[in-house]
Each structure stands twice: as C-alpha cells, then as structure tokens.
Amino acid sequence: MPRKKATPPERPKWTRLVHPSPWLEGVDRVVGVVAPGRRLSDPRVVRRTRWSASGVQGVTPPGRQAPGQEPGIDWAKKKSKDRLAAEREGREHLKGAQRDPTDLKAMVAIITEFVDQHVPTADSADAWAALIRQSHNPFEIVVGYTILGAILSKKMALRRRYGAALDRGAKTYFNLARRLSPKAEPPRGLVVETLDALFFDLPTVALALPFAFVTAAFLRTMELLRTEHEPAAIKKQDEAIAQFAHHLHTRFIGRRSLGDHALRAMFPWDPPEWVLAATEET
C-alpha cells in the first residue's frame, strides 16, 4: 500500500510576515540562485556575473530589468565607483594637507629651509659648533649640525675651521638615520659606529617619535639663533623664530598623542619671554 506524503506543519502565525519581501514571494518555486563572482570550478577562469534566479515569477534580481520596468542597478559597479570616488576625494584632500616627513632627511630639510630664509650671522657658528662638540643628546647634535651646515653653506672658507664639529654632527646624523631606516647609508669613510655610545641611554620611544624629539631639541637650542645686533633686526628675527617654533610644536607635538598620552605632556615647553613677546606683537 503506497505511503501518503506527510503534510508539512502549518507555520505559526507569529512567523508570518505582514508585508513579505518581493524576494520571499514564490520562494517555494525557486530552482536556483547564483551570486556574483566565479561560476566555474577552475579558479583561473573568472567570469563577471550578476545575481540571477530561476523559477521565480514576478521577482527581478538586482541588476536585471523586468519587462516594462526601468533598468535595474548593478550594485557591484555602483559600489566600486563610489569607493573610487571616495579614494579620489581623499587623495585630493591630502594634497593640501601637511604630511609627515618620510625620513630624518625630510625632517631636517624643514629646519634647513627656515634657516636659509632667515640666515643667522656667522657669529652664531661658534655657538652651534660648541653645542655639537659638547652635547651628548643625538637630537640636539643633529639640529646643531643642520643649522651649522646651513650657515656655512655659503661660506666654504669657514668649513675647515669647524671641521671637527661638522664631522661629529655628520656621524651622529647618519647613525640616527640608519637606526630609523635601514636604507640610509653613510658616506664612505664616515665611521658612524664611533658615536654609538650616544644612543645607549636613548629611550626606545625616541625611535618611534623621532620628529617630536627633533622638535623638542630645536626648542631647547633655538636661543642660539638670536645673534643680530641692531634692534630692528633682533625684533624681526625674534618674530620669525617664534612663529617657526610654534609651527613645529603644533605640528609634531601639540596635536599628537602616543596611545592615551598626549605628547604635550611628554614634551612640556614653556616659551621664553622673548618668544611670547614676539608672538603677541605679531
């Protein structure tokens, strides 16, 4: 005697949808649904496909056009275009923004550009050379080496006089640059290992925040840039130094943090009176 087919239990009322989705209409008649992407087993063969369904009447998959209806939307293409537009807009925004320097060379180039525009007198070369020879802070030495090199760039006759300071500054600069980037190579004959002792007591975080440490070193030593003798020249030089100091502090310390710790607390800076006076006047 043939067995009767079991009647499926009736679905509870609380599971019935008051306004069923069009995709659920005729769901019992669905034969197959194919998602976008690969349709072949061979991973080397890729064919772009859209959503498709068979055995469903009155339902149009995304990207398809039903008879008498407006063309559907290819959501994959639309999403891709939206993403590309957002990326393009982000790149345009970054063009006008100030990006971080890519390495130590780019960072000291910012200081060099300032010194080239506001060249101190040659009288300050002695002070910067003394700083390079006596300091045990590699970041102070790098700042001093950068400024001394900018001062002597147009005074080649004085480079031999400050040869010892320039040599120590170059060794410190390339020693630090090599620690920050393996691609940095010192010039042939410059034995940077002789100054490894300067880095023994350097905190580990210094290599993670090199630009903040360079900025802090500049703020500690920028007093040596004030070498003008005429009152008008001193005032003009003070205004330029004060503006540049605030710019560096804001860019690399004031608006940044390391985890939950603000760099402003890690690198406290109380501007001297001449900086405050120059800033108020401007």
Tens digit of each residue's pLDDT (9 = 90 or more) over 104-113: 999 999 999 9
Q: Higher model confidence: residue 268 or residue 84? A: 268
The mean pLDDT value for 254-268 works out to 89
The string of pLDDT tens digits covering residues 182-221 is: 888 999 899 999 999 999 999 989 999 999 999 999 999 9
Q: Higher model confidence: residue 3 or residue 30? A: 3
Residue 160 included in any domain: yes
Residue 79 included in any domain: no
Rounded distance, CA 50 to CA 32, Å?
14
Q: Which residues contact 227 (CB under 8 A, 6 or more apart)?
A: 120, 121, 123, 124, 127
Domain count, the chain: 1
Residue 220 included in any domain: yes
Residue 96 included in any domain: no
Rounded distance, CA 160 to CA 116, Å?
21
Residue 33 included in any domain: no
- pTM here? 0.65
Residue bearing tokens 């960072």:
107
Q: What range does the domain containing 195 cover?
A: 104-281
Give me the helix-helix angle, 273-281 and 231-249, nearest 10°.
100
Give the DSSP H/E element, type plus range, for residue 211. helix 210-221
Residue 48 included in any domain: no
Residue 32 included in any domain: no
Residue 111 included in any domain: yes
Contact 192, 175 (CB under 8 A): yes
pLDDT of residue 93: 44
